[in-house]
Structure 1
Amino acid sequence: MKKILFLLLIIANAVVAQNTTELFTDANDLYKNEKIEEAIELYKKIETQGFVSSELYYNLGNCYYKLNKVGPSIYYYEKALQLNPLNEDVKNNLVFAKRLALDNIEELPKTVFQKLNKNWLQKLSYNQWAIVVVVFSFLGSLLFLLFYFADSPSKKRFYFVTSTVSFLLLIFSFFITYNQYNFTKKNKVAIVFAEKTAVRNAPTLNSEEVFTLHEGTKVIVLDRVDDWKKIKLADGKLGWIIADEIKEL
């Protein structure tokens, strides 16, 4: 009975995967034929089914870019980069999309470690760094076994050194994975979807307006109170914005 249920589950998953592939192909065809809004509907349908990917979000970003919707296009390009930070096509298109945004926010000067983190360590997501950890753990274990069973001093020396290096890299990559995970969880990124919105110094409509933001601007979400979210900009400015006017990645 269990074998039959398992077989039925495999068949069901195969049917769903095939249906998703067909939807993706149909959506791509609609996009090529300039039927952008219809393509978006199919891409969103795939997203609701849970079959998300960097390619899916990249195509959604392209659709909204075609419609000159700055906020959604930047939002989906950013989501595509979250899944695959090395996708050069997404990076290039994100540059063009950001040129449509009205707000020009200069980043605060970064420390050496912050520059290293952004330019190198964040090239991979914490999930990808986790894969690196697994690879080094497997490699280190294999080399240690080869060291244990090696029959000559030269081989033992070689395997001992390489296994030691592998375990050191394992610890280093685990540390990076842990830090990238914490960084991602603490820095909740969101994109402004409102065409124009006021940011205030307190989570109330009668509080003072401190600055204005426009569609497509990236912010960091720090806190939430009722229908308001506390945000921080790349230049260090802080304020409260109506929660529905931004969308978290």
Structure 2
Amino acid sequence: MRKHLAIPALTLLLGLNAQASWTLSVYPCTFDSINQDQARGRQIWARYWATQNPYGLAGTRDNRFWMKLLDAEADDAAALGYYIYPLYVDSLDNYNRFLGPGAKGTWNAHYTGDQIIALSYIYKPVHVINDGVCEPGFAAREGVTLHLRSGGRLLVSPAHPLVNQEGWMLRAGELSVGDSLMRTDGSLDEVLLIEPGQDGEPQTPLDGYLECPDTFQSERVEELNRLLLRGNVPDDLIPGR
């Protein structure tokens, strides 16, 4: 079954575009690359400290370690034998990336998954947010070439989220021949041929086509969707109005 991304296309249609100030310009899997045992460890470590809420945020968990909305995807991936893991950026320092536990260049780079699990929460600074997850299998420069009915061609990462004819977000690697991409003007462009494994630098941004920020799994998604929902509730349904 094709898995749809959690962000509604409405987010883009209402002008919350891919260049919002909190997005990263490059998806950072290769910046913070760890092996699968370490990925398992970081995921368990992050999920544990999210529920412990060590910095005492209002509420019962700290989504800056790990967002609960990623649980189902992580569990599905683990059942297939691979582990997604959280990536972090520093929201107070121009969104510079933060190397999480086990990353190359850190003092614990050699740690096994079990050793990462045992780390304290202090190895993630309080102000660093969870701005996405890395999904193994998508090389940074691996591309998929989409040949379109308009005559155009798009070279994108297999993980690049696009909007199809039904308004769903799909990764480019999940598209099929016969699917259509939605343009920014609302028109559709049918996919005639998909060439996987094409080398080269993926195009970004894709001018003329609806797409999503690289960090489509950002913790800000929950806030955006909440605002969208609130903005579309009729006044007569809101108490006191």
State the TM-score, normalized to the length of structure 1: 0.24
Structure that is richer in strand per residue:
2
Structure number with larger C-alpha Rg? 1
Instruction: State TM-score, norm by structure 2.
Output: 0.25
Compare relative contact order (CA 8 Å, sep 6+) and give the higher one, 1 or 2: 2
